[in-house]
Structure 1
Amino acid sequence: MQSVLDAILAFTNWLWGIPMLLWIVGGGLYLSFRLGFLQFTKLGFILKNTIFKGFGKKAENGKFSSWQAVTGALASTLGAGNIIGTAMAIAYGGPGGVFWLWVSGLVCCCVKYSETTVAMKYRRLNKDGQWEGGPQIYLTAGTGWKWISPLYAVVCIVCLFLAASAQIGSSVDNIVGMGAPRLPVTIIMTLLVAVVVIGGMKSLLSVTERLVPAMSVLYIVGTLIVIILNIQNLPAAFASIFRYAFTGRAAVGGFAGAAVTQSIRWGVARGCYSNDSGTGVTTITHAVADVNHPIQQSMWAVFEVFFDTIIVCSLTCFVILTTGVWQQGNVAPAIMTATAFNNTIGNVGTFIVTISVVLFTFTTACAQIEFTEAQFRKLVGDKLSVGCRWGMLALILVGGMVGIDALINYVDFFAGIYTIINLLGVYFCVNQIVKLTKEYFADPQKWETQKWPKWVEEEKEYADAHVKQIDEIASKE
């Protein structure tokens, strides 16, 4: 058994090195080229028409707004990866890992834009009149390959079972680090997650639209305070990122030495783990948004990656590098960020990190359970998929007891597999993505008032079917 686990670990380390660099970053560069590097050329337009225009906006008639949808997606992306995963990138990959995290983040803006675009194109109305979409739908619909969506769903389910457990495991690790007993904390966290997920997507988005802004502000303000108090070390920290990106240097004392491949492996893996680009899972929440054209929601996907990786992860990196905590060999990656805060602003810093980790991982675990159930519905139908929630809640108990270090490599293993599957389908749909992009940007103002024809037709078909069903019931009575 141990030899199998060792083989999985070795394969995972290999996969998340050069192969995933080529598959995600290389593929992302290709998408960027085909889309005119819109994450740079249209960034101003994107920010103007997302966060500066739609912050806090709510939809009418029981639908979900773009803002609500993106908070659900951010609930998944803003998790342990931003605080603990980023620390792991530095601990195991050295400061150079930050460079590769940035590279993956900038390129992955187009990856998430693309997967959100196909998710929006192929989304459909469910029996309750709500939009639903994601890889479980668009992979087969976009490629015509009947096998790809079910295969993705199976691998995704296994990965998210582990990932949700790892999120709660990291949360419990931090609370236990403050002296709390592990078992009661794990039980309480599991019960809180259960309260949210039992209500489904509506309950999830009602929670995330409130928690995501609050937890983001709390953490960002805390990191800025720590960085400012160590501002004299910022130039050297910034320089070390580029110095070690192509030479490699890991944390001293007890951590594995880092060559360039280690910097790439941990930088790319933690970048993708943080923003979920290429996995397809966050498109499940993007797909519920009430917008007039697919690209209007895809622009929010660009903002999501930019905010998650380029802003939040970078702040964590500079906290760790400017405080020098990464060079203290007795500090484990799971508590490295908390240690940096504590060394600078004392117990207040520890409190800020702990609360941030708890909120980040709590919302991520809730979102991942919703994503997993979406895959279950695709495979086994609505009735049987309900049991998925309870199975994941049971595994969250396990994750809380064992912690994130015991699970993270296995999360990486399955995440690598389903990312390969998802991006295979997305890359196949590149011409469709380019066509929709050109259609929208040819006249963005047009889509402020006019709805995409395909959605108008589908909504009419749903309304007609609903009326017919009511008439049939009435006639029987």
Structure 2
Amino acid sequence: MDTFMNFIVSISNWVWGIPMLVILFGGGLILTFSLGFFQFKYFGFICKETFGKILEKPEKGEGTVSPFQAASAALASTIGAANIVGVPVAIAFGGPGAVFWMWLTAFIGSASKFSEIVLGIKYREKNELGEYVGGPQYYLDKGLNAPWLGKLFAFCLMLEIIPSVATQTISVVQTAATLNIPNWVSGAVIAALVGIVVYGGIQRIVQVSEKLVPFMAGVYLLGALVVTIVNITQLPSVVVLIFKHAFAPMAAVGGFGGAMISQTISRGIARGTYSNEAGMGTAPIAHVAAITDHPVRQAFWGIFEIIVSTLIICTMTAMIVLTSGIWKTIPSSEAASMPARAFQSLMGGSLGGGIVTLSITLFVLSTIIVIVFYGEKQAEYLFGTKFSQVMKFIYLVAIFLGAYGGIEFLYSFLDILLASIIIPNMIGLVLMRNQVRELKDDFFNNPNFYPMLRENK
């Protein structure tokens, strides 16, 4: 058994090395070129259509939830504990320059996330309950005429959610254990809270998400901003380090062991890729319920998610780690603790640690709620709405068992299952890029959608 598990781990490590980075970053580059670098060209307009219209309700279009509610649900899944603990790990092994490559990957990944939401809206359908459903399983089937690829995506994602929710639960349970809360209590509370929300359907999920996401992000960002402002004198030198060592190796200093340029690039690309779910195909599952008059308009919210998740939250994590100097004193083996240490150095153990603990708990809870919904929709696509209710129950059981570590043997399969949904999705996005480009051109060449055309005349 140990030999088999070691084999699975080695396969996982290999897949999530160069191959997966090539598929995600390389695929994003192909889509970026195909779409004419639209995410750079129209960046200001995209921000105006998203950040500038958060509180607006759509006046026309089909769907069941507002564009921001759909984005909040997708963002609830995107923002996770990794936004806090993943960034310092990238810095510990890749140096400050990794932050530059994280930023670049966010912009490149925008093309992937934009494309999957455009296709998700184009090929969405109504199920027997009258709800809009969609995602890679639908556009791989109907758009690429490859139903087997759609079924592969749906089946692997349905299974991937089981170890995923269990893994997420452990983060909260370990935190609660420091307050002497028994594991079974933590697991039962998380499962109950998730069940209450997900059994209310997409309407209840988006209602919770649109309130929870701004709150949890606001708490963390406010604390991070305080730490950064206190260390503001270090900010100019930190910016120099980021850009200088994005293209040059960095020698060891303090607890930092140094990094070759290849490490800097790979760590930065990995963090940027993993932090926003671009290319994973999960975001359109939430976005297809949105009220919109054009697929491209809703796809702008996918870029909004990347801005919030990677360019804002991950960047603020990087700033507190770098400006506080904590990255020079903590060994790489303890890199995940850097944000908490940075908060505690300024605010004390209770308040500083409490902010990070609260943030991680809320990030994890919001992620579990949405990914259970994602898994449910894969089961519905494959076997119908009745079976989706069975899978929903299985996910809640997995949450409870995760508190005990009862399905640890599945954790080694998590990354392989994740790769098995990314590969068919990215294949579909690249092969259907012409359809995405046609819809993009249709939007930006129509003055009713893109008013800048009228203003430029």
- The verdict on a shared fold, with TM-score over 0.5 as the criterion, is yes
Consecutive unaligned residues of structure 2, counting only runs of 5 or more, are: 452-457
Using the aligned pairs only, state the percent identity: 38
The 2-side partners of 1:88 and 1:185 are apart by: 27
Match of 1:65 in 2: 66
1:257 CA displacement: 7.8
TM-score for the superposition, normalised by structure 1: 0.85
Of stretches 30-39 and 279-288 in structure 1, the one that deviates more from structure 2 is 30-39
What secondary structure sits across from 1:358 in the alignment? helix
- Give the residue type in structure 2 aligned to 1:149: G
The 2-side partners of 1:144 and 1:62 are apart by: 25
- CA shift in 2, pair 1:422/1:404, >3 Å: same
The 2-side partners of 1:309 and 1:146 are apart by: 33
Match of 2:44 in 1: 44
1:290 CA displacement: 0.7
Match of 2:133 in 1: 132
- CA shift in 2, pair 1:182/1:194, >3 Å: same
Match of 1:438 in 2: 441
The 1-side partners of 2:263 and 2:7 are apart by: 17
TM-score for the superposition, normalised by structure 2: 0.89
Is structure 2 residue 414 aligned with structure 1 residue 411? yes
The 1-side partners of 2:211 and 2:56 are apart by: 9
- Give the residue type in structure 1 aligned to 2:340: A
- Give the residue type in structure 2 aligned to 1:47: C
Match of 1:318 in 2: 319
What secondary structure sits across from 2:147 in the alignment? coil
1:112 CA displacement: 0.1
- CA shift in 2, pair 1:168/1:263, >3 Å: farther
1:23 CA displacement: 1.5
1:123 CA displacement: 0.4
- CA shift in 2, pair 1:405/1:281, >3 Å: same
Would you say the 8 A contact 2:209–2:366 is kept in 1? yes
The 1-side partners of 2:365 and 2:231 are apart by: 30
Would you say the 8 A contact 2:58–2:291 is kept in 1? no
Of stretches 238-247 and 282-291 in structure 1, the one that deviates more from structure 2 is 238-247
Instruction: Provide Cα deviations, 1:114-158, integer angstroms capped at 9, x if missing partner.
Output: 011110110012223332111121111111012101111122123
Match of 2:376 among 360, 363, 373: 373
1:335 CA displacement: 3.3
Of stretches 323-332 and 143-152 in structure 1, the one that deviates more from structure 2 is 323-332
Matches within 5 A, 1:44-443: 44-55=44-55, 57=57, 63-177=64-178, 180-245=181-246, 247=249, 259-326=260-327, 327-329=329-331, 332-346=334-348, 347-402=350-405, 410-443=413-446
1:240 CA displacement: 3.5
Match of 2:454 in 1: none
- CA shift in 2, pair 1:173/1:59, >3 Å: farther
The 2-side partners of 1:59 and 1:406 are apart by: 49
- Give the residue type in structure 2 aligned to 1:11: I
Of stretches 323-332 and 112-121 in structure 1, the one that deviates more from structure 2 is 323-332
The 1-side partners of 2:226 and 2:411 are apart by: 29
The 1-side partners of 2:260 and 2:183 are apart by: 36
- Give the residue type in structure 2 aligned to 1:342: Q
How many pairs does the alignment contain? 447
What secondary structure sits across from 1:36 in the alignment? coil
The 1-side partners of 2:406 and 2:72 are apart by: 26
- Give the residue type in structure 2 aligned to 1:352: I
The 1-side partners of 2:368 and 2:432 are apart by: 30
1:269 CA displacement: 3.2
- Give the residue type in structure 2 aligned to 1:9: V
1:245 CA displacement: 4.0
The 1-side partners of 2:169 and 2:368 are apart by: 7
The 2-side partners of 1:250 and 1:143 are apart by: 49
The 2-side partners of 1:143 and 1:37 are apart by: 24
The 1-side partners of 2:96 and 2:164 are apart by: 25
The 2-side partners of 1:354 and 1:333 are apart by: 16
1:3 CA displacement: 3.1
Would you say the 8 A contact 2:163–2:407 is kept in 1? no
- CA shift in 2, pair 1:110/1:232, >3 Å: same
Match of 2:20 in 1: 20
1:402 CA displacement: 4.3
The 2-side partners of 1:407 and 1:304 are apart by: 29
Consecutive unaligned residues of structure 1, counting only runs of 5 or more, are: 449-477
1:369 CA displacement: 0.2
The 1-side partners of 2:15 and 2:258 are apart by: 18
Matches within 5 A, 1:451-470: none
- CA shift in 2, pair 1:330/1:300, >3 Å: closer
- Give the residue type in structure 1 aligned to 2:185: P
- CA shift in 2, pair 1:92/1:84, >3 Å: same
Instruction: Provide Cα deviations, 1:438-473, integer angstroms capped at 9, x if missing partner.
Output: 01111152589xxxxxxxxxxxxxxxxxxxxxxxxx
Instruction: Provide Cα deviations, 1:387-435, integer angstroms capped at 9, x if missing partner.
Output: 1112112222233344999987653332222111111011111010000
- CA shift in 2, pair 1:304/1:404, >3 Å: farther
Instruction: Provide Cα deviations, 1:63-115, integer angstroms capped at 9, x if missing partner.
Output: 21101110111111111121122233234444343233222211111110001
The 2-side partners of 1:186 and 1:416 are apart by: 28
Of stretches 17-26 and 36-45 in structure 1, the one that deviates more from structure 2 is 17-26
What secondary structure sits across from 1:55 in the alignment? coil
- CA shift in 2, pair 1:220/1:251, >3 Å: farther
1:235 CA displacement: 3.2
What secondary structure sits across from 2:448 in the alignment? helix
Would you say the 8 A contact 2:88–2:336 is kept in 1? yes
Match of 1:34 in 2: 34
Would you say the 8 A contact 2:113–2:302 is kept in 1? yes
1:308 CA displacement: 1.0
